[in-house]
Chains A and B, each alone.
Chain A
Amino acid sequence: MDPSEIQKLADLAMIKIDESQITEVAARISDVLALVDELQAADTTGVKPMAHPLDTVQRLRADEVTEVNHRDEFQAIAPACEDGLYLVPKVID
């Protein structure tokens, strides 16, 4: 992993990585990728891919409204609210 790839990943994940740490982060991510490479060396011929490590299926719930309005509680811990809306730094499309 070169530093520019690390920077791109950081941007996508919205994580700030200090310039001085990039070399170290690159090395650590490379170690993880090496581990993945090792796993990929295993022979999986004839093994059906799984979407999830648990060998079971999703249970579905009935379509019923059971949640009630807890807006006041949620907004009590929000940094900024107005007219029932959560306020966030201005986002422009």
Chain B
Amino acid sequence: MTWETVIGLEVHVQLATQSKLFSASSTAFGAEPNTQASAVDLAMPGTLPVANEQAFRYAVMFGLGIGAEIGKESVFERKNYFYPDLPKGYQTTQLAKPIVGPGIVEITLDDGSTKQIRIHHAHIEEDAGKSLHEDFHGMSGIDLNRAGTPLIEIVSEPDMRSAEEAVAFAKKLHGLVTSLGICDGEMSQGSMRFDVNISVHKPHEPFGTRTETKNLNSFKFMEEAIALEVERQIDILEDGGEVIQETRLYDGDTRTARSMRSKEEANDYRYFPCPDLLPVVIDDEYIEAIRASMPELPEARTERFKQQYSLNNYDAGILAANADISAYFEELTKLTEDAKQSANWIMGELSARLNADDISIKQSPVSAAQLAGVIERTKDGTISSKIAKQVFDALWAKEGSDADSVIESKGLKQVSDTSALEKMADDVIAASPKQVDNYRNAEPDKRPKMLGYFVGQIMKASQGQANPQAINQILLDKLDKLL
């Protein structure tokens, strides 16, 4: 039985401002608990919010980045609910008049096809603090450093039909906000968090009842959580049950999800315009000044990479999608003066390792300068491409400060010294009388293929360190003499 999946996303993006949305406290990550929580952030009586201009500038940049209409008059509202990490008893957010109106984000899927995902709107709001539920004598601990950090919440239309599309959309947004420089993109620090609305239905039937899985902070978790929820809903429906509208929490460690609250227990937020804040009015001049100073976006960068580095469309698209990957690529290429090799390493070995460890390129243990060293030593013949991967692994594991020191300390230098290679060739020929006979008796055009056995044996004996071109020639000479 086939089912269709419908997915919509709500994406929280922490804006890269120095200070908070309504107070002049620092937003820096990782400070001691509550050392960046001022009287305003703590909602002390008598305090009043003063809105941060930079948050509006960043939100407008995002709006222009997705071709959206900018709300020239945007209004803050209070979303009322009680939770200890929200000291005011309400979150200051926007509802009826958000800063960014409808827009479009185009995603590219693995098969190269593209799809347009509609953005319903994006609004500015403040983040809450953090609750720590480990046991403090039966109490919870509250850290309000994050309270009041500016966010934009980006709300998509339910336009995605698979986990692949949802992840492609999430990555596209990540690339966009990091390219714009409005978010640091550090997902492990909560700089971008995804709420995923999921429902399933039979073809040609109305959308099913949806659930919301909240606070996913990695692409990997997002993909897993969607697969899990789709399967759960289909199982319920195929057993004749009904999906309940509810909020769910996904645990990436155990790969399970649980219900947080159902619709019946859902809050009634009683939104109303915030009397402490006046409407924020921005004019065309402000918007046009921002438009004129927009940084390079992924689409334009893709074109530039194709021109400047002679990359194909696919490679350029991948490397240009994310500002940090682009920066790494350009730094690496500047050092190696070899765009193709640099691209191959980033999209191959480096990406595989980053994905496996679920970290961003900014957190890569191997810097562009270190990787440039590996590429250089491959190109000048010091190491083979197989050994290069070994050197890369060692650098990843912090077993050396640069390629040369790893090659030196692990003795990985490629053997190009003729006498050493000749000795290896003599040894393998002496040890393989059967293969030598076969070689001798083979048709001349079959012989080059048979050479592979001897090369393989030498590579094995030398642990990959023999120079393959040199060894090929030496073997050929020696075997031909035996004919």
Dominant secondary structure of chain A at its interface with chain B: loop
B36 interface hit (Cβ, 8 Å): yes
B19 interface hit (Cβ, 8 Å): yes
Contact B51–A58 (Cβ < 8 Å): yes
**What's the nearest-Cβ distance from chain B to residue A16, in Å?**
13
Give the contacting residue for A82; candidates B35, B136, B268; CB below 8 A. Answer: B136
Contact B84–A88 (Cβ < 8 Å): yes
Tell me which of B187-195, B274-282, B433-441, B462-470 binds A.
B274-282
* Cα distance, A52 to B25, chains bound together (Å): 27
On chain B, the residues within 8 Å of A82 by CB distance are 136, 141
Contact B280–A85 (Cβ < 8 Å): no
* Cα distance, A88 to B280, chains bound together (Å): 35
Most chain-A Cβ atoms within 10 A of its Cβ — which of B18, B19, B277?
B19
Interface size in chain A (residues, C-beta < 8 A): 35
Chain B residue nearest to A50 in the complex (CB):
B279
Our count of residue pairs bridging A and B at CB distance below 8 angstroms stands at: 126
* Cα distance, A67 to B55, chains bound together (Å): 18
On chain A, the residues within 8 Å of B141 by CB distance are 82-83, 85-87
Give the contacting residue for A51; candidates B17, B80, B97, B142; CB below 8 A. Answer: B97
Give the contacting residue for B34; candidates A51, A60, A63, A71; CB below 8 A. Answer: A71
Give the contacting residue for B23; candidates A60, A67, A92; CB below 8 A. Answer: A67
Chain A residue nearest to B247 in the complex (CB):
A93
Segment 46-72 of A: residues with Cβ below 8 Å from B: 51-52, 54, 56-67, 69-71
B364 interface hit (Cβ, 8 Å): no
On chain B, the residues within 8 Å of A86 by CB distance are 34, 84, 141-142, 144
Contact A57–B279 (Cβ < 8 Å): yes
Give the contacting residue for A74; candidates B24, B42, B50, B140; CB below 8 A. Answer: B42
Instruction: Report B21-36 CB contacts with A as 1/0, cut-off 8 Å.
Output: 0011110000011111
Taking A83-B141, A86-B141 as known contacts, 5 extra A-B pairs with beta carbons closer than 8 A to each other, sorted by chain A number, are A51-B75, A86-B144, A87-B141, A88-B142, A92-B133
Q: Which residues of B contact A (CB under 8 A)?
A: 17-19, 23-26, 32-39, 42, 50-56, 73, 75, 80, 82-84, 97, 131-133, 136-144, 249, 260, 267-268, 270, 273, 275, 277-281
Which 3 A-B pairs have CB atoms at the shortest separation, nearest pair first? A85-B141, A63-B54, A60-B53
